[in-house]
Amino acid sequence: MTSNYLVYLIALPLFGSALLLLAGRKADKWGHLLGTAMSGGAFVIGLYEFTQMLGRSNEQRAVTQKLFNWISVGSFQVDAGLMLDQLSICFVLLITGVGTLIHIYSIAYMSHDLDRRRFFAFLNLFIAAMLLLVLGDSYLNLYVGWEGVGLASYLLIGFWNQKPTYATAAKKAFVANRVGDMGLSLAIMISFATLGTVSFAGVKEHAGQASTGALTAIGIMLLVAATGKSAQFPLQAWLGDAMAGPTPVSALIHAATMVTAGVYLITRSNFIFDAAPTAQLCVAIIGAITLLFGAVVGTAKDDIKKALAASTMSQIGYMILGAGLGPAGYAFAIMHLLTHGFFKAGMFLGAGSVMHGMDDEVNMRRYGGLGKFMPITFATFGLGYLAIIGVPPFAGFYSKDKIIEVAFNAGGIKGITLGSAALLGAAITAFYMTRVVILTFVGNKRWAEKAHPHESPALMWLPMVLLAVGSVASGFIFTHGNSLKNWLAPVVEQSPVHEGELLKPAVVSVLALVLVILGVGLAVLKYVRKDIPLVAPSDVSIFTRIARRDLLQDDFNEALFMKTGQGITRALVVTDKSIVDGAVRGVARLVRGSGSALRLTQTGFVRSYAMWILVGAIGLVAAIWVVTL
């Protein structure tokens, strides 16, 4: 099946972005409306394609569109082509749907910002790049989108780059992403060298003939790419700093969509990972490490956005873990991704709403008791909270429990380890999310003196309400009759062998619920009764201090990579100055020296020139004479 409308999905926001950037200040009055309209238009096209898709049988739902012949070198042919299948449409609807809501939210949130037009231009650029990422029909096309979202992320994190720390945060995100991008480009190169093709269909077809070693190499490189983009261990350090960007950016890019691109990449490459068990195991391990890592960091953060960022990291860890569990887990990874898109975006918008009402204060120790003053924010945030900690029947309960269950059923020690990690993560999640809610909305007031908390305007709370509805209902809709699993079945082929179940679903649910209640209870005990000090206490255990420092990831990177890199740079500078520059300057000095020596022969006397001519002529005659003799 082909479709002619796919290109407009990307073209609309791209056009919006280009127009807003080129039109300059003239577009200040209507720029935000155009940006929102373009994003909304893409959502409408996505919905249209979705309804078309529903009308076809399961095997024929994927549609493609060839745009142009992009690279044609010898036997290497790459078409710029788009492909919309059951997996991409989930992303398209999430990106354009949540994206449009966040555009609407940003109209109000950024209304006092002089550069609101530029902000919307970047948001549209992001939407276009992200759609290209999920619609590309080859790794190379995906790569273009992959770099595009990296650029948009960089531009938006550093949107307020008049503050040097924000500009540094943007740079940090960009550099960390470069490491991951290098993994993706290496994966593409290995894929071309061993399989001779980079399109999804071609790689899927030829994957059976390649050696396991080559597939493992591709898989590991794809995992490196995913860790960079999705802020997974060990490249996760940038996500916390990325909160320097405006809150709608954190909600859209650094919670709901861009950071989940790694999950998309792994799910899309399921044919590689299913044939390379080592790489698949690495994926699961990375996911398990990150979900605990993020959760632990989340318990120690006082900045509401950084706490949510750590939570995002942890939740994406769940998705990566799910994707690393093979055919049994892909659908649940995507399901958690979609539900997370709703509840985390909703909570970030809630955090933005709180900041909006509290003069951009982000320290939760300066909040407290805001529930009464911001009832809608409190309600929507609360629903997102119930969803993320996995209280039935909210969305997170369905998706997260399924991942924990699949992890336990992966078999052997691997299953028990991964399952326990996921279960422990659920308990810590409950603890730190409860902490966030209590510190922000409950308890005594700890505001700055001039703070006047108030509910945000309708343009802001409307998207929050819609996302809260998603947080409540999406889990039930996706699991009802295994709808999402069956929907994705043609893309991520189900394994025919069904492994024995270690734990029954009901047991997992009860276990998870008990741990969640424990986590919530602990947080309530710790934070509801006590007075919260305005400044984080310093006489705390070494573990708390390490957690506050992001588990020393920055220090590690600094010691191992930054210091080494600086050392190499210094050595190279010395080499450059003494050897490379030395050679160049030496040649120059030689030419200048010989020039000034030869200058002395230019006397200006005709007779001396005549003398030289005579000497030359005699020399010439003598030479000829000698040669002919």
Partner 1 sequence: MNAANYLYVSALLFTIGAIGVVVRRNAIVVFMCVELMLNAANLAFVTFARINGNLDGQVMAFFTMVVAACEVVVGLAIIVTIYRSRRSASVDDASLLKR
Residues that bind partner 1 (CB under 8 A): 602-607, 610-611, 614
- Nearest CB to partner 1, comparing residues 112 and 607: 607
CB of 610 to partner 1, least distance (A): 5
CB of 620 to partner 1, least distance (A): 14
CB 229 within 8 A of CB 262: yes
Q: Considering beta carbons, is residue 498 or 607 the nearer one to partner 1?
A: 607
Please report how close the Cβ of residue 592 comes to partner 1 at its closest, in angstroms: 20
Crossing angle for the helix pair 375-389 and 458-479, to the nearest 10 degrees: 20
Cα 345 to Cα 469: distance, rounded to the nearest angstrom? 12
Least CB distance to partner 1 at residue 622 (A): 15
Q: Of 605 and 625, which CB lies nearer to partner 1 in the complex structure?
A: 605
Give the nearer residue to partner 1 in terms of CB position, either 193 or 621.
621
Beta bridge partners of 363: 303
Question: SS3 of 114, please?
Answer: coil
Q: Which residues of 375-403 are buried (b: 16+ CB within 10 A; e: fewer)?
A: ebbbbbbbbbbbbbbbbeebbbbbbbbbb
- Minimal distance in Å, beta carbon 591 to partner 1? 22
Would you say 189 or 621 has its CB closer to partner 1? 621
Supply the minimum distance, in Å, between the C-beta of residue 602 and partner 1.
Answer: 6
CB of 612 to partner 1, least distance (A): 10
In the complex, minimum distance from the CB of residue 594 to partner 1, in angstroms, rounded to a whole number: 19
> Can you tell me which residue has the tokens 């470069």?
178
- What does the block give as tokens for 112? 């006092």
Q: Which pair of structure tokens corresponds to residue 604?
A: 């200006």
Question: 569 to each of 448, 539, 572, how far by Cα in Å?
Answer: 46, 39, 5
Is 587 or 610 the residue whose CB approaches partner 1 more closely? 610
Q: Smaller CB distance to partner 1: residue 552 or 611? A: 611
Listed in sequence order, the residues at least 6 apart from 332 whose beta carbon sits closer than 8 Å to its beta carbon are: 322, 399, 402, 403, 406, 485
Which element (helix H / strand E) includes 63? strand 63-73
The minimum distance between CB 623 and partner 1, in angstroms, equals 18
Residue 101: which of 121, 125, 127 has the closest Cα?
Answer: 127
The C-alpha angle with vertex 474 and arms to 470 and 475, in degrees rounded to 5, equals 135
Measured from the Cβ of residue 201, the count of other Cβ atoms closer than 10 Å reads: 14
CA distances from 136 to 76, 128, 132, 165, 262 (A): 17, 12, 6, 35, 15
Specify the residue, 606 or 626, whose C-beta has the smaller distance to partner 1. 606
* Nearer of residues 552 and 610 to partner 1, judged by Cβ: 610
- Smallest distance from the beta carbon of 609 to partner 1, in angstroms? 9
Q: Which is nearer to partner 1, 533 or 604 (CB)?
A: 604
Annotate 323-364 with DSSP letters as a single string: HTTTHHHHHHHHHHHHHHHHHHHHHHHHHHHHHHHTTT--BG
Do 240 and 233 meet the contact criterion of CB atoms below 8 Å apart? no
